[in-house]
Amino acid sequence: MWLSRPILLMLAGACLVCGCSGAIHPLPALTSSQLNLAHAEVRSSGGPPQPQNVSDEEATRVLRAAIDRIRPAADQLCREMVVGICRWTVHASDDRSLNAFAGPDGSIVINRGVVDYAANEEEVAVVIAHEIGHHAADHHARRQHNQMVGSLIGNIVVTAVSLVVPPLGMATGLIQSAAESGVNLATGAVAASYSKEQEREADWLAALILYRSGMDLDKARGFLLTMARAPGGTGTSLFMTHLSGPERLAAWDEAVRQIRASNGRLPRRQ
């Protein structure tokens, strides 16, 4: 199947645009040895984690204390980056699931389940700092860009197929349908890949925020292990937007090693 020069140029242009929307900082490379050690740690760490019986008053106190401890360092880091949103509003949700998320315009939602499963203030702080990292690196806007690029690639490829496939009646329709399905999978894989990069970067920025805040990074790491022990935490898939638990642990350990070695310096952007 031969593609015309204009179509080839369109595809090349789309791929170039696609290649610039992941993490804005270089991320530490992970070795198979690091990943294997992380998998072994998760396997030997026990069964699914159990929530604690935390009162509403204690949950509110821990959440506020964690925010107060990391906010100065987070503010400074965001100003250094000069990329994303540096004004955040943290909301507490009554949801008991082990989750949190960064919404548009600087909003951050921390589920009550985060406090229920956290063993200390550092573990709550790392979750908040992770969501701040998403805002500081402007991941929300970059994800929208990735969706636009994915849609562009899909339209270009489907158009290319419709132009080069000879008129074969039903066969043409089948070929084009298969092409569209393949494009949907391919662009989904691109989006998930970038999202994983952004999740790693948010963890890396969270570690940097906690380091600059004088918090214990080893205590904070406990929450990543808790998440890895949760049902589904060890799984991995090309289309998952989050890292597998062991991969996240390995990435955290390497990030912490580099942050300590550089004394908390923000590296150059990619």
Reported as a single tens digit per residue, the pLDDT across 109-138 is 999 999 999 999 999 999 999 999 999 999
Segment (H or E) for 108: strand 107-111
Helix (H, G, I), strand (E, B) or coil at 215: coil
Give the model's pLDDT for residue 169: 52
Q: List the domain range (segments joined by +) for residue 163.
A: 5-13+52-223
pLDDT of 12 over the 50 cut: no
The answer to whether 160 and 175 are in contact (CB under 8 A) is no
Give the model's pLDDT for residue 105: 86
Give the model's pLDDT for residue 18: 45
Dihedral angle over CA of 101, 247, 208, 122, nearest 10: 70
pLDDT of 179 over the 90 cut: no
Let me know if residue 94 belongs to a domain: yes
Quick one: average pLDDT of 5-30?
61
Let me know if residue 159 belongs to a domain: yes
Give the model's pLDDT for residue 138: 93
**CA distances to 6, 29, 149, 254 from 19, in Å:** 20, 18, 10, 24
Number of domains the chain contains: 1
Distance in angstroms (rounded) separating the CA atoms of residues 98 and 76: 28
Could you tell me the pTM of the whole model? 0.76
Nearest Cα to Cα of residue 113 among 129, 105, 101: 101
Let me know if residue 117 belongs to a domain: yes
pLDDT of 176 over the 70 cut: no
Quick one: average pLDDT of 171-194?
47
Distance in angstroms (rounded) separating the CA atoms of residues 175 and 46: 49
Q: What is the percent of the chain where pLDDT is above 90?
A: 59
Let me know if residue 28 belongs to a domain: no
Q: Is residue 235 very low, low, confident or very high in pLDDT (cuts 50, 70, 90)?
A: low
Give the model's pLDDT for residue 124: 98
Let me know if residue 127 belongs to a domain: yes
Chain-centroid distance of CA 17 in Å reads 20
Quick one: average pLDDT of 243-258?
94
Give the model's pLDDT for residue 122: 98
**pLDDT digits over 26-78, tens only?**
998 899 999 999 999 999 999 999 999 899 999 999 999 999 999 999 999 99
Distance in angstroms (rounded) separating the CA atoms of residues 235 and 221: 19
Let me know if residue 270 belongs to a domain: no
Give the model's pLDDT for residue 134: 95
Let me know if residue 66 belongs to a domain: yes
Give the model's pLDDT for residue 242: 64
Let me know if residue 218 belongs to a domain: yes
Distance in angstroms (rounded) separating the CA atoms of residues 255 and 249: 10
**pLDDT digits over 147-175, tens only?**
444 444 444 444 544 555 555 455 555 44
